Chain A
Amino acid sequence: AQRVTQPEKLLSVFKGAPVELKCNYSYSGSPELFWYVQYSRQRLQLLLRHISRESIKGFTADLNKGETSFHLKKPFAQEEDSAMYYCALRPQTGANNLFFGTGTRLTVIP
């Protein structure tokens, strides 16, 4: 069965410091991985997906199939990055059944 694990419920970093939000998954096939973000009083929204291999708002994430990880990274945190971050897995291409982790609340300290 598929499972997404985000080991940190809370993460605090200082402005300008590097950020890494961890995500590990278990799935026997080839999943599609996503990071979703929810800023205060806003809707859950897609931040990035692994197949796009793009950088959004300075964030990147690389799918490591050997370690079954999809960690989210940013070299220099900004105050506006403070939000709830969810890692999600889609088990089969074309379906919309995402499996979410429990989320990590990132706080960037000025």
Chain B
Amino acid sequence: DAGVTQSPTHLIKTRGQHVTLRCSPISGHKSVSWYQQVLGQGPQFIFQYYEKEERGRGNFPDRFSARQFPNYSSELNVNALLLGDSALYLCASSGAQGEKLFFGSGTQLSVL
């Protein structure tokens, strides 16, 4: 079992660009959540999707969006990147709402 996989592992962008991060949940898991972890802080909740529907949204601007596909994989999109968007973006999957979360290794995004 490969666990939750995220791609890419590292990414460098410049201000104003757009970025797409990808996540594949553990096989059989239908829920995917996204978190942002800024250096020195704990993870901060961005979105949760379950059965391809948005079930939760954190306190992030509309520049952040996400979706879940029929195979339960997910994408996180961030438009008009700011320097402050530099962070580790974590994806977590679970079998159902409220079940144990399994985290991926994350995508390290650097905005220059």
Kindly state the separation between the CA atoms of A101 and B40 in the bound complex, as whole angstroms: 11
Q: Decide if B16 is an interface residue (CB 8 Å cutoff).
A: no
- Say if the beta carbon of B56 comes within 8 Å of chain A: yes
Tell me if B97 and A95 are in contact (CB < 8 A). yes
Is A11 interfacial (CB 8 A cutoff)? no
Q: How far is the CA of A88 from the CA of B33 in the complex (A)?
A: 15
A68-110 contacts to B, CB under 8 A, are: 86, 88, 90, 93-103
Interface size class of A (residues with CB under 8 A): 20 to 34
B104 touches A96 (CB 8 A): no
Chain B positions within 8 Å of A44 at CB level: 43, 90, 103
In the assembled complex, the Cα of A103 lies from the Cα of B100 at a distance in Å of 19
Q: A43-B103, A44-B103 are in contact. Are A94 and B98 (CB under 8 A)?
A: yes
Pair A93/B98 contact, Cβ less than 8 Å: yes
The docked-state distance in angstroms from the alpha carbon of A95 to that of B103 is 16
How many chain B residues touch A (CB < 8 A): the figure is 27
A90 CB → nearest B CB, Å: 8
Contact B98 A96 (CB under 8 A): yes
Query: When chains A and B are docked, how far (Å) is the Cα of A44 from the Cα of B33?
Result: 14
Q: Is the CB of B42 within 8 A of A43?
A: no
B66-97 vs A: 1/0 string, CB under 8 Å? 00000000000000000000000010101001
Report B27-59 residues with CB < 8 Å from chain A CB: 31, 33, 35, 40-45, 48, 50, 55-56, 58
CB distance from B87 to the nearest CB of A (A): 13
Decide yes or no whether A45 CB sits under 8 A from chain B. Answer: yes
CB distance from A10 to the nearest CB of B (A): 12
Q: How far is the CA of A93 from the CA of B41 in the complex (A)?
A: 24
Chain B residues contacting A4 (CB-CB under 8 Å) are: 42
Jot down 16 A-B pairs with beta carbons below 8 A, ordered by A.
A43-B103, A43-B104, A43-B105, A45-B102, A45-B103, A46-B101, A86-B42, A94-B98, A95-B98, A96-B101, A97-B33, A97-B58, A98-B35, A102-B40, A102-B41, A103-B41
